[in-house]
Amino acid sequence: MQQRDQFQIFRNFFEQKFSFIPGKKINMENEAYKQLSPKMIKQISVDVARGLWRFYPLFQLPIDSCQVLQQIFVRFFLTLWINLPQHLQQKYFQSVTDSFEVVFAAYFRFENFDLFFSAFDVDKETVVDFQLVFDKPEKVFHLSICWAIHLADKTDFNLSFFTRVGKKVVYWMNKDKIVHKIMQNMNDDEMSGFLMKHTVSCCLHSTRSFRLSAILTQAMMCLSFDNQAKLIARLTLVGARVYSPHLFPIDDPGYEQKFKLAIERVPEQCEDLTYTINDILTHALDELLKIKENENTLIELIKEFVDKN
């Protein structure tokens, strides 16, 4: 599937999920974001500086272009944030930017990227013209604001909420008899902490694929958090079983045909079982998704789950 088609599929879904109301005033002034607190601006800028990495291969940008793309996204996200209702503007947690990276990438006008790159100066604040960034910037911001408010209504942008979701993930994992036997002596709070990076972004942190990132973002937009917890548990266990079948036995012989196994395996003899299981649950899905051949299988698994829930 061509890159352009992938973007269009996501845009079609996004625009059906959230309605665009023409004429709604969006403040896109270049310095509008400075109304946010300096602490908030710094935190978001630091988080985004670690972001967008999953899309560099897709965009085929040179390494020295990464900082430019990040700065444009920082400005997009800060401008989006200042347009939220005031009571939400101070509610922010790390990883909330992940799904908005997908939106940004789907609408970004890469034919104009050279204009930004040539104007970029690391020692000065770059002026970002959103008319060049997006074809219809008011529409992109309006739909993104709708998604942010929808997400806030569900989570209150509160990490304690995701701690509770993490416990739900552990609950659903323990429904598997084999897994329950392995994890029965482990603390649920500790386990939910291990899984936090999956929980807050619906596993977006584990993939460099735009297609898979888009499908996971759509799942976030469609599923209740209870069903998101089920999906996260399922994906985590798929990764664990393929990555470390001696600890998480494969109960479905079809796994060997469905997934290309990760090359790197956890040693069969481990002195610290808790540490080893932590390592598996937090990294196995990442390893599984590094293998391109697994992408289509996982996309079909996620689509099937969303359709049923």
Looking at every residue in the chain, the average pLDDT score rounds to: 82
Both 140 and 196 in one domain: the answer is: no
**For the chain, how many structural domains are there in total?**
2
Q: Which of 115, 133, 155 is the last residue in one of the domains?
A: 155
Do 255 and 300 lie in one domain? The reply is yes
d(CA 233, CA 188): 14
Q: For residue 203, what are the domain limits? A: 159-308
- Look at residue 122 in the predicted model and tell me its pLDDT: 54
130 and 174 housed in the same domain:
no
Contacts (Cβ under 8 Å, ≥6 apart) of 231: 202, 219, 223, 302, 305, 306, 309
Alpha-carbon span 289 to 5, nearest angstrom = 21
pTM value is 0.88
- Find residue 108's DSSP bridge partners: 134
pLDDT of residue 125: 64
Same domain, 230 and 117: no
Instruction: Please check whether residues 12 and 104 belong to one and the same domain.
Output: yes
Are residues 73 and 129 located together in one domain of the fold? yes
Predicted local distance difference test score (pLDDT) of residue 146: 94
d(C-alpha 103, C-alpha 188), whole Å: 34
Residues of the chain with pLDDT under 50: 263-264
Q: What is the pLDDT of residue 191?
A: 80
Among 155, 185, 214, the domain boundary falls at 155
Maximum Cα–Cα distance for the chain, whole Å? 63
